[in-house]
Amino acid sequence: MGSVDHSIKENIKPYEASFGAMVPTPFVKFMRTCLIWQGIRFIIINVKMILVVQKSH
Amino acid sequence: MARLVVMGGGVSGHTAATFAKKWLGNEHEVVVVTPNSQWNWIPSNIWVGVGQMNKEDVTFPLAPVYKKAGIDYRQAKAVSIHPEGKTDSNTPYITIEYTGQGKEGQTEEVTYDYLINATGPKLNFDATPGLGDGKGGIGNHTVSVCTADHALHANLELQKIFNKAKTEKQKVLIGTGHGMCTCQGAAFEYIFNIEHEARRAGVRDNLEIQWISNESFLGDFGIGGLHIKRGMYAASSKLFAESLFVERGVKWMIGAHVSKVKKGKIEYELLDGTTGEETFDFAMLIPPFAGVGLKAYNKDDEDMTDKIFAPNGFLKVDADYTPKPYEEWKASDWPKTYQNPEYSNIFACGIAFAPPHLISKPMSSPNGTPINPTPPRTGMPSGIIGKAVAHSICDLIKNGSGAHLHEASMGEMGAACVASAGKGLTNGTAAALTVYPIVPDFEKYPGIGRDLDYTFGEIGLAGHWIKHILHHMFIYKAKLKPGWTLIPE
Ligand SMILES: Cc1cc2nc3c(=O)[nH]c(=O)nc-3n(C[C@H](O)[C@H](O)[C@H](O)COP(=O)(O)OP(=O)(O)OC[C@H]3O[C@@H](n4cnc5c(N)ncnc54)[C@H](O)[C@@H]3O)c2cc1C
């Protein structure tokens, strides 16, 4: 799990639109499908969404 | 006994009709006029379009549900509204043309005391030469995921492309098919689901995937973009959208009006006035939306469509339609009660109401071609508005014309949105977003127009789980299964 994502090498070219984008590090990408972390996020996102839904009714 | 007629049994109309019937009971009648025999959970069409769901997973027959609810269901399309009745009667009515129930093609007059227009959008493929078939349907150069049948066909074509990509390079083009399209979110979901499936099928290396959109910046989504807190910053949706596109190797072209579609090729004009062509082997381009083309007639049977409908075919409601420059737009221009100003017993909900103006900043090319997303009205606001309108009408029926009308302004309401970026129980991802309010209120929240405490977003597997749960929850709710009223819109 290095700090540079392979998509930088594959998908970014200098002076093209892609050059200005922020790219996730492999750690960020790992956390996106890490079951424990996503279990926690599941609860947090649900709470946040319920608050927005309540505020909108 | 009063009669409420609901035109359109989609997300908004179905919500309005089912709540109205529950609140009115058997003392009053609720009639739904809608042309399809099946209800469709449209958001999941994306998964049908990549072969991860079947049509049966996203649809169910309406007749048994309406029978259970005690709703009078006419499988028909509404054709015209006659709010003043006719020469020998003051009772308002609509005309309908049956599309099913063994009465196909037959017409009928249906009288009403209250009327809801929830007819959603007309998928206006013909607005772009070559995108449509010239008869109101989709042409044969591109595919669509807007209906379950379209999505089924899209997947058949996609699988052919995946097959070819095993041996040769293929190009996929996804986005909007006109400078004034809305629903960028659906195209966004489709492009990332294709990317995800292509990796799963082992053909990603031979697939060039390209986005084309009328947004002036990536992540506008027709709502002028949004900001969310990330680290110590309020970061714009442009940053997040570009990040995802780069990470997944998807190129983008923005500020584009698709002016012509041909076999394997589109012509486009950009915001800077330049024109060009782009080739494709597979393209899904969202069509622009318009009202479904209902007509209105006065007591003397004279056409007065322009009195109650805006030129784009959407029903005028209690919005401030005064034309003004972008700098003077206010969240309070947006409708609150969705009551037609001419006829107080007519309401609109969901996509069928005429928005007062764009949400994104209007833009046009030096040639004068408007290139800007039109306002989306996604599932949550469509449902909430449908319920508020039903509430108002029930109160009017029960308490008389002085009853207080319920409000549901998109300038005071948030929306939760989950955009799939690939399906899979352990490797799926989706962007879970909330935005509050939907229409930015720059007076209340100067600068970004939104409350940062209630506007957030992140991408991950949790979002995918939520999207999947919502799929089952909303179909459960639409089927009026036990406890359906407890599930929020
Ligand atoms: C591919 C796709 C994906 C989407 N994904 C999401 C998502 O993830 N989240 C989200 O919040 N929103 C999503 N949306 C948007 C969402 O589908 C709409 O906001 C919602 O369907 C609007 O509800 P509505 O009732 O106004 O229109 P619809 O749901 O389209 O319903 C309109 C109904 O009116 C009927 N009708 C048409 N003409 C007539 C007539 N003349 N007379 C009577 N009835 C008529 C139609 O048959 C239909 O049943 C998506 C849209 C698409 C196309």
The SS3 assignment for B200 reads helix
Q: Do B390 and B16 form a contact (C-beta atoms < 8 A)?
A: yes
Residue B28's nearest CA partner among B84, B85, B72, B73 is B72
The SS3 assignment for B289 reads strand
Nearest chain B alpha carbon to A40? B462
C-beta atoms surrounding B479 within 10 Å = 16
The SS3 assignment for B67 reads helix
Per-residue pLDDT tens over the stretch B333-374? 999 999 999 999 999 999 999 999 999 999 999 999 999 999
Chain A contact probe: residue of B461, B465, B468 with most A CBs at under 10 A:
B461
* Averaged pLDDT of chain A: 89
Rounded CA separation A52/B412 (Å): 11
Sequence-distant (6+) residues with CB within 8 A of A41 are B458, B460, B462
Q: What separation in angstroms does the CA of B429 have from each of B189, B321, B326, B420?
A: 11, 40, 36, 6
Quote ipTM for the complex.
Answer: 0.93
What DSSP state is assigned to residue B440? -
Q: What is the CA radius of gyration of chain B?
A: 22
Q: Do B376 and B222 form a contact (C-beta atoms < 8 A)?
A: yes
Per-residue pLDDT tens over the stretch B182-209? 999 999 999 999 999 999 999 999 999 9
To test the pocket of ligand 1, the residue of B45, B81, B119, B377 to mutate (highest count of ligand atoms within 8 Å of its CB) is B119
- How far does B431 lie from chain A, in Å, by closest CA? 11
Rounded CA separation A29/A5 (Å): 9
pLDDT interval class at A4 (50, 70, 90): low
Per-residue pLDDT tens over the stretch B446-478? 999 999 999 999 999 999 999 999 999 999 999
Residue B350's nearest CA partner among B80, B7, B4, B5 is B7
CA-proximal residue: ligand 1, atom 53 (nearest): B146
What pLDDT score was predicted for residue A5? 64
Query: Which amino acid makes up residue B116?
Result: I
In chain B, what percentage of residues exceed pLDDT 90?
Answer: 99
* Averaged pLDDT of chain B: 97
Q: Looking at the whole model, is its pTM more than 0.90? A: yes
φ/ψ (deg, to 5) at B420:
-70, 140
φ/ψ (deg, to 5) at B348:
-130, 150
The SS3 assignment for B260 reads strand
| pLDDT value at A50 more than 70 | yes
What pLDDT score was predicted for residue B181? 97
Per-residue pLDDT tens over the stretch B32-71? 999 999 999 999 999 999 999 999 999 999 999 999 999 9
Q: Kindly provide the residue ranges of all beta strands, DSSP E only, lying in B292-379, ordered along the sequence.
A: 295-296, 346-348
Per-residue pLDDT tens over the stretch B64-102? 999 999 999 999 999 999 999 999 999 999 999 999 999
Residue B173's nearest CA partner among B246, B268, B43 is B268
In chain B, what percentage of residues exceed pLDDT 70?
Answer: 100
Residue B244's nearest CA partner among B295, B189, B298 is B189
Partners of residue B32 on adjacent β-strands: B6, B73
What DSSP state is assigned to residue B71? -
pLDDT interval class at A10 (50, 70, 90): confident
pLDDT interval class at A1 (50, 70, 90): very low
Whether residue B466 and residue A20 make contact (CB cut-off 8 A), yes or no, is no
Ligand 1 site residues, Cβ closer than 6 angstroms:
B 7-13, 33-36, 42-43, 45-46, 77-78, 118-120, 145-146, 183, 185-186, 292, 350-352, 377-380, 382, 417
Per-residue pLDDT tens over the stretch B376-415? 999 999 999 999 999 999 999 999 999 999 999 999 999 9
- Helix ranges (DSSP H) in B248-342: 305-308
φ/ψ (deg, to 5) at A20:
-85, -5
Rounded CA separation B187/B466 (Å): 20
Side-chain half-sphere exposure of B28, counting CA atoms within 13 A: 22
